[in-house]
Amino acid sequence: MHEPWLDDDVTARPADPGADLRTIRALMERARSYRHLPPAAAFTAGALAVAGAGATDAILARAPIAQSLGRLGLVWGAVLVAAAAGWVLLAWRSVRREGAPFVTPLAIEILHALWPPLVGALALTAALSRAGAAELVPAVWMLGYGAGAVAAGGFARRAVRWLGVAFVLAGLAHLALAPAPAVALGATFGGFHLVFGLVLAVRPAREA
Amino acid sequence: MPRDLSGARGADSGAGAVKPDELDRVIHEPVRLSIAAVLAARREVDYLELRSLLALTDGNLAAHAGVLERHGYVAAEKGFAGKRPRTTYRLTPAGRRAFARHVERLRVLLGEGERDRR
């Protein structure tokens, strides 16, 4: 079979094995890395969490944590849903700008990395609340979210994995030091996401 | 993590046995090498995503993917995502073997080049 491509462009190209291997490695890494992480989504999540921490502070000023579980659950459930919706919307816009499909095997792998630790954190929240150990719930969510981010980081830029590591360390510190929940939640879910957004904004080229 | 290229050993590789003109001409072309590298890292890749990843034009991607397809290295599957037509590509087993063999040959050539410089 005659292939004009073979005649024209291949025989003329000398072998540069070093350059070819570098290209192959870079492309394989890029193909395995989810690229649609808009900084605005991280800023939105961080701002929502800071607002959630403010609401937590106000709620806990009126009643102890054991009697505020319903209200705190509503606040942080709303923060989680709004932040997730923001991520989906902004990532969808980023994907559509490139004309690429939104749901890809890579995106599904990220979801599969994220959901088990989050469902685990939800189950532990219910169990700890029933057992009268609600003060441990913020640490559980830091550890669960951190574990999910570390796992998802295998399919995205390195900063995602570092975000996860930061959350896991914060969760461990929270277990050891037991700081005020509002401060801890604001500093981690708020502060960490704002810093993460900054990293995404400042170093976008490394993502691609 | 991407597949470790060091594990991609071709059946007929061997130090000192490879000459530059023995490289697989179908895969050696830069665009086709790029397509093969992306497909080697993933089970399957959507046409639009592949075009975006490699910053190719429609014509360029279709032409080179077509060459890989005609040589049995790539399989294209046409379907629909909702109402929109969608084409996904994947490396065939023959394509994976050819890619692994090509990578191994490049590694052998690189080793020979470094030995020559010493």
Domain range summary for chain A, segments of one domain joined by +: 37-203
Say which of A3, A17, A154 has its CB closest to residue B109. Answer: A17
Q: How much is the pLDDT for B13?
A: 40
Question: Can you tell me the ipTM of this complex?
Answer: 0.72
User: Hey, are the CB atoms on B26 and A15 less than 8 Å from each other?
Assistant: no
Residues of chain A with Cβ-Cβ distance to B81 below 8 Å are 101, 103
Say which of A10, A17, A104 has its CB closest to residue B106. Answer: A17
Mean pLDDT of all residues in A113-140: 94
The tokens of B80 are what?
């629909």
Closest residue, chain B, to A20 (C-alpha): B106
How many Cβ pairs closer than 8 A exist between chain A and B?
102
- Which residues fall within 8 angstroms of residue B37, CB to CB, at 6 or more apart? A23, A24, A27, A28, A31, B99
Mean pLDDT of all residues in A59-83: 93
Q: What is the pLDDT of residues B3-30, one digit of tens each?
A: 444 333 333 444 445 566 678 889 888 9
Say which of B25, B26, B41 has its CB closest to residue A31. Answer: B41
- State how far residue A157 is from chain B, nearest Cα, in angstroms: 11
Q: How much is the pLDDT for B44?
A: 87
- Is residue A157 very low, low, confident or very high in pLDDT (cuts 50, 70, 90)? confident
Q: Say yes or no to pLDDT of A206 above 60.
A: no
Sheet holding B84-91, edge to edge: B45-46, B84-91, B74-81
Q: How much is the pLDDT for A49?
A: 97
Say which of B1, B34, B113 has its CB closest to residue A23. Answer: B34
Q: What angle do CA A181, A135, A142 make, to 5 degrees?
A: 60
- The Cα-based distances of B61 to A32, A97, B57 in angstroms read 20, 19, 6
Closest residue, chain B, to A158 (C-alpha): B1
Q: Say yes or no to pLDDT of A194 above 90.
A: yes
- State how far residue B106 is from chain A, nearest Cα, in angstroms: 5
User: Hey, are the CB atoms on A28 and B46 less than 8 Å from each other?
Assistant: no
User: Hey, are the CB atoms on B113 and A31 less than 8 Å from each other?
Assistant: no
Residues of chain B with Cβ-Cβ distance to A27 below 8 Å are 34, 37-38, 41, 53-54
User: Hey, are the CB atoms on A105 and B43 less than 8 Å from each other?
Assistant: yes
Q: Say yes or no to pLDDT of A13 above 90.
A: no
Work out whether the CA dihedral A13, A18, A19, A25 comes out positive or negative.
Answer: positive
Residues of chain B with Cβ-Cβ distance to A23 below 8 Å are 30, 33-34, 37
Mean pLDDT of all residues in A49-63: 96
Residues of chain B with Cβ-Cβ distance to A33 below 8 Å are none
Residue A9's CB: how many other CB atoms inside 10 A?
A: 16
